[in-house]
């Protein structure tokens, strides 16, 4: 059995993008504005690849399925860190978390990368009208350089029932009386984890956002230049609040609980945590959740997905009404996956497949891949170069991903050898970073000491051919030593070593 080994710091850092420049193909000139496609860029918070277009017919997602029918479904797309701000910062800059230096919810990527050109900024710099609304960057952050006009978001209540709004008011008053301020009040004054009030769609953020986006499309259509419109929906992020009609789409007794409500065997105890984000909501206990509560939570999550889906449908309908679909790339992505009781845990915040694997749909007018799926391994850092490539724009040299436009043309073609994610942890007071590699067959994770990345604290190894739920860590089995010896150099080579 291989023991936690010394791994060359320089090689590891190079693998994950510290001071890296990947040589991309550069175009000598932009195409004329009239020849450029528009881009409708739809971000969704906490969305699992549990949708109709992913073969999950128990989910009512007809509008996301419309995008899939007109485009390509990526079954194996991976975020670079499974939490909002690191994932979004990585995608929107086209660089990885060790380059953005964003591993938490407190740091803006401009601190480490003050001059980086973001994805929307790149389109703006090449003649596009670029507008952003809703949750694109993480809440509380924005990036004015990214937009042609100031970013905007609707103001809407968190709940529709007066009893829940009153609960928040009482908890807020109690938190202030206790001397709490800012985010500490927000953490202490959360309401219930789910709600199904009989209210109109625009009552909440996503319905109001859809109205804003429809209005923006009508205004943008009259502009002489192509557009890049970024629309960020917040559902199905907690709390699972959606109008009652979306709850009514699901029969509670038919909702299946997670098939593996237990932690991975032989995994380090810090690999997957129970989900403290959920426990911060009112009346959610710690530890294993009762089946009835788990089923209510899943019901709420599904309702929130269908509510968001209906708002996406409003955007697609408006594109059709305005005659814009024929020259508009539509891309929809969830910022990371989410656990709904798998591994006896909830939320994101890990390197496991449930968290790192997220939905990615892209419909490009005129491509022959419409209605197909692909198992090509792609990463969210690839979205920036792909959209620029499809629009005929030059690719900046700072990018740490590669355009997957060839996969859109041929979904079955050979592609990347691996996709990479990471997540920080601590063990016994020692800060760690878990670097995770998903190959065609395996997920392999090395937990490295952050102050001395030559040292590995633990390994995880899951065989997706035999164990797609990642229930048994093979890394501690003596028979896995030879396989780990093969995977370590691949992990050390990082993303550049995995390119097609």
Contacts of 332 (CB under 8 A, 6+ apart): 42, 43, 44, 64, 67, 312, 359, 360, 361, 362
CATH superfamily membership of 24-161+196-416: Alkaline Phosphatase, subunit A (3.40.720.10)
**Rounded to the nearest 5°, which phi and psi values hold at 426?**
-140, 140
Q: How far apart are the first and last CA of the chain?
A: 31
Instruction: Assess whether 464 carries a catalytic annotation.
Output: no
Instruction: Assess whether 347 carries a catalytic annotation.
Output: no
Residue among 108, 122, 138, 349 flagged as catalytic: 138
How many angstroms separate the Cα of 262 from the Cα of each of 72, 342, 344? Answer: 34, 7, 5
pLDDT at 25: 40
The model's pLDDT over 84-123, given as tens digits with 9 standing for 90+, comes to 999 999 999 999 999 999 999 999 999 999 999 999 999 9
The model's pLDDT over 171-189, given as tens digits with 9 standing for 90+, comes to 999 999 999 998 899 888 9
Helix (H) or strand (E) holding 185: helix 182-188
Residue among 53, 60, 79, 84 flagged as catalytic: 84
The model's pLDDT over 270-320, given as tens digits with 9 standing for 90+, comes to 999 999 999 999 999 999 999 999 999 999 999 999 999 999 999 999 999
The domain ranges of the chain are 24-161+196-416
Which candidate, 87, 49, 92, places its Cα nearest to that of 68? 49
Q: Considering the chain, what percentage of its residues have pLDDT values greater than 70?
A: 93
The model's pLDDT over 425-470, given as tens digits with 9 standing for 90+, comes to 999 999 999 999 999 999 999 999 999 988 999 999 999 999 999 9
Across residues 394-398, what is the average pLDDT?
A: 97
pLDDT at 404: 98
Across residues 398-416, what is the average pLDDT?
A: 98
How sure is the predictor about 140, in pLDDT bands with cuts at 50, 70 and 90? Answer: confident
Residue 33, pLDDT above cutoff 70: no
How sure is the predictor about 423, in pLDDT bands with cuts at 50, 70 and 90? Answer: very high
Measured CA to CA, the distance from residue 23 to residue 162 in angstroms comes to 56
Residue 50, pLDDT above cutoff 70: yes
Q: How many residues does the chain have?
A: 500
- Would the pTM count as exceeding 0.85? yes
Both tokens of residue 59? 């989910």
């Amino acid at each position: 059995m291989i023991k936690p080994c010394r791994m060359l710091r320089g090689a590891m850092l190079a693998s994950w993008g510290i001071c890296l420049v990947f040589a991309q193909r550069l175009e000598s000139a932009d195409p004329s504005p009239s020849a450029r496609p528009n881009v409708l860029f739809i971000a969704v918070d906490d969305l699992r690849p549990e949708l109709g277009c992913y073969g999950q017919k128990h989910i009512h997602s007809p509008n996301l399925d419309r995008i899939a029918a007109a485009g390509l479904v990526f079954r194996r797309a991976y975020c670079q860190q499974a939490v909002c701000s690191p994932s979004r910062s990585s995608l929107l800059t086209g660089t990885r978390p060790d380059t953005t230096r964003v591993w938490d919810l407190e740091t803006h990527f401009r601190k480490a990368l003050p001059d980086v050109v973001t994805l929307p900024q790149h389109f703006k710099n090449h003649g596009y009208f670029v507008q952003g609304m809703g949750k694109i960057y993480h809440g509380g952050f924005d990036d004015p350089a990214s937009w042609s006009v100031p970013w905007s978001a609707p103001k809407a209540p968190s709940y529709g029932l007066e009893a829940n709004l009153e609960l928040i008011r009482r908890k807020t008053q109690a938190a202030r009386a206790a001397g709490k301020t800012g985010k500490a009040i927000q953490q202490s004054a959360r309401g219930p984890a789910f709600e199904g009030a009989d209210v109109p769609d625009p009552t909440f953020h996503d319905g109001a956002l859809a109205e804003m986006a429809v209005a923006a499309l009508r205004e943008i259509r009259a502009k002489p230049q192509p557009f890049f419109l970024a629309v960020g929906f917040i559902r199905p992020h907690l709390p699972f609040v959606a109008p009652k009609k979306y709850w009514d789409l699901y029969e509670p007794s038919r909702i299946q609980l997670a098939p593996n409500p237990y932690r991975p065997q032989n995994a380090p105890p810090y690999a997957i945590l129970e989900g403290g984000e959920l426990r911060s909501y009112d009346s959610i206990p710690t530890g294993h959740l009762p089946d009835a509560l788990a089923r209510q939570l899943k019901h709420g999550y599904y309702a929130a997905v269908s509510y968001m889906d209906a708002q996406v449908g409003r955007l697609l309908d408006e594109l059709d009404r305005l005659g814009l679909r024929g020259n508009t790339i539509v891309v929809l992505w969830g910022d990371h996956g989410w656990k709904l009781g798998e591994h006896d845990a909830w939320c994101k915040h890990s390197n496991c497949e449930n968290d790192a694997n997220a939905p990615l749909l892209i419909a490009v007018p005129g491509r022959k891949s419409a209605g197909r799926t692909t198992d090509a391994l792609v990463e969210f850092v690839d979205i920036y170069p792909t959209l620029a490539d499809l629009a005929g724009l030059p690719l900046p040299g700072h990018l740490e991903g590669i355009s997957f436009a060839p996969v859109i043309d041929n979904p079955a073609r050979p592609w990347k050898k691996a996709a990479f994610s990471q997540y920080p942890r601590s063990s016994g007071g020692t800060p760690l970073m878990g670097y995770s590699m998903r190959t065609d067959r395996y997920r392999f994770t090395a937990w490295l000491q952050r102050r001395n990345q030559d040292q590995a604290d633990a390994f995880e190894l899951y065989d997706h051919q035999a164990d797609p739920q990642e229930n048994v860590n093979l890394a501690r089995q003596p028979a896995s030593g030879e396989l780990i010896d093969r995977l370590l150099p691949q992990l050390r080579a990082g993303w550049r070593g995995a390119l097609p």
